[in-house]
Amino acid sequence: MPLYQQSGIFDRDGLDIECATLTDWIGKSAALLEPLTEPIGRHVLAGDVIFAYAESVKMMASGTGKDHNRAIAGIGVR
């Protein structure tokens, strides 16, 4: 989800979090998680089977009483 949309969601919930702040958080999180990329990559490539999926899930839109679809995706290793 784009950061401007996330910022809007936070704003509707009474939290004023600018896109620049969210961008900074993402950058810092990426730096903290970077050491995990190589071991996770080795684990994934060592599996016998790598599979991926995506599906649409119906969710209630916040504050509207209406539902909408959101896509979710995943990757698995066996």
How does DSSP assign the chain, residue by residue? --HHHHHHHHHHTT----HHHHHHHHHHHHHHHHHHHHHHHHHHHHSS-EEEEEEEEEEEPTTTS-EEEEEEEEEEE-
**pTM greater than the 0.85 cutoff:** no
b/e per residue 27-61 (b: at least 16 CB within 10 A): eeeeeeeeeeeeeeeeeeeeeeeeeeeeeeeeeee
Q: Which residue has the tokens 């702040």?
A: 21
- Residue 20 has a pLDDT of 93
The tens digit of pLDDT for each residue in 5-63 reads 899 999 999 999 999 999 999 999 999 999 999 999 999 889 898 888 888 888 777 77
The yes-or-no verdict on residue 65 having pLDDT over 80 is no
